[in-house]
Amino acid sequence: MNPEAKKTLRRLVIAVPLMFAFGFALVPLYNVFCEVTGINGKVFQSDNAEKLVIEDGRPLGLQFISTNNENMPWTFKPSEDVMTISTGKYYTATFYVKNTTNKTMTAQAVPSVAPSNAAAHLKKLECFCFEQQELKPGEDALLPVRLLVSDELPENIENIILSYTIFDVTEYDDEAVAQHMHEEHHEMEH
């Protein structure tokens, strides 16, 4: 094979792992992209609380939705379904959870905002979705989310829906998995 052909071959062979890596690079790129543009309905913790102007804003409906992921038996619901709020002010809403099973479980709530272009303007100072919740059998709790909708919210949006889906992540926590396997040996078989 002539040297030119070898060069072509070498370039192509290098391109393959690079494109493979590119596939994986799409994962962080995607998350950064969503965070920067505030799309995907994902809400990230805001760190610029002091920069937010607090003044009288316009009124707005804020609606809460809770969903249980398929295999999640807990009770999970917002304390209030709807709140009337005004932009530029802080509010605290709470969600009620109860572990209705007879084993200790860990949960993770994943938020989503509709319409999606409101997500960038919904700032959360504090949210139970930033961490996991572990509840003992029968234990319950009120989980707070402290939020503000900025004044820059597009004019045409009059209602925002903040929804949470709660997942059972007991298995994802190494320690809990070990404990789980110990106690619920037969459970693991399916």
Partner 1 sequence: MSAVIENHHDDHHHGPAKGLTRWLYTTNHKDIGTLYLWFSFAMFLIGGAMALVIRAELFQPGMQIVEPEFYNQMITLHGLIMIFGGVMPAFVGLANWLVPMMIGAPDMALPRMNNLSFWILPFAFFILLSSLFMDGGAPNFGWTFYAPLSTTYAPPSVTFFIFSVHIMGASSIMGAINVVVTIMNMRAPGVTLMKMPLFVWSWLITAYLLIAVMPVLAGAVTMMLMDIHFGTSFFNAAGGGDPVLFQHIFWFFGHPEVYIMILPAFGIVSHIIETFSRKQLFGYSSMVWAMLSIAILSFVVWAHHMFTVGLPLAAELFFMWATMLIAVPTGVKVFNWVATMFKGSLTFETPMLFAIAFVVLFTIGGLSGLMLAIVPADFQYHDTYFVVAHFHYVLVPGAIFSIMAAVYYWIPKWSGNMYDERLGKLHFWLSFIGVNVTFFPQHFIGLAGMPRRYPDYALQFADWNMVSSVGAFLFGVSQILFLFIVVKTVMGGKKATDQVWEGARGLEWTVASPAPYHTFTTPPKVD
Residues that bind partner 1 (CB under 8 A): 1-2, 4-6, 8-9, 12-13, 15-24, 26-27, 30-31, 37, 39-41, 69, 108, 110, 114, 116-117, 165, 167-169, 172
Cβ atoms within 10 Å of 157's Cβ, excluding its own: 15
Least spacing, CB of residue 108 vs partner 1, in Å: 6
Nearer of residues 42 and 89 to partner 1, judged by Cβ: 42
Least distance CB 24 / partner 1 (angstroms): 6
- Minimum distance of partner 1 from residue 98's CB (angstroms): 19
Spell 128-145 as b/e; 16+ CB within 10 A means b: bbeebbebeeeeeeebeb
**Whats the size of the chain, residue-wise?**
190
SS3 content of the chain, % helix, strand, coil (to 5): 35, 35, 30
Nearer of residues 23 and 84 to partner 1, judged by Cβ: 23
| Residue among 50 and 155 whose Cβ is closer to partner 1 | 155
Beta-strand relationship, 59-68 and 159-168: parallel
Which amino acid, residue 30?
Answer: Y
Rank residues 4 and 189 by Cβ distance to partner 1 and give the closer one. 4
